[in-house]
Amino acid sequence: MRIKYLAAFFMSMAIMLFAAPARAESSSGGEQDTDTRLVDAKVVEITDARLSVVAQTGVEHVIAIDIEKTRVTRDGRNVSIKEVREGDIITIDLDEKNPIKFAKNISMQTGSMAVARNRR
């Protein structure tokens, strides 16, 4: 009887171990975060010089921005950095050459627009 319980326990642990990565992969649409790209990150704070986002992993990142150098697109169209609001879901391409986390490109989807106050 004890062997059945142990076998059931180990089987359930194995299922949970292999199911978690599959669930995470399917929720992001196949795209994953890398060292130079944050996919589907939620904006939690934005100022003139920086942007705070929470990545899919739950980790908060502070990213430097520049009104003139950071390119922002929404559905393929160039828009102003001022259109990024708290609560937006964005994808950020970081500048590989910059030693700090600096946003080179930010892309947003139309469905990610949120009504929130922009702190400036």
- Domain ranges for the chain: 1-30, 37-112
> Hey, what amino acid is at 55?
A
Q: What is the pLDDT of residue 111?
A: 59
Residue 44 near residue 24, CB atoms below 8 Å: no
pLDDT at residue 44 greater than cutoff 90: yes
Range 54-66 average pLDDT: 90
Residue 53 near residue 90, CB atoms below 8 Å: yes
Residue 96 near residue 36, CB atoms below 8 Å: yes
Q: What is the pLDDT of residue 118?
A: 44
Q: What 8-state DSSP symbol labels residue 102?
A: B
Euclidean distance between the first and final Cα of the chain, in Å? 65
Q: What is the pLDDT of residues 77-120, one digit of tens each?
A: 999 888 889 999 999 999 888 888 888 888 987 654 444 444 44
Q: What is the pLDDT of residue 21?
A: 57
Q: Which CATH number fits domain 37-112: 2.40.50, 1.10.3210, 2.60.40, 3.30.360?
A: 2.40.50
Structure tokens at 119: 């702190």
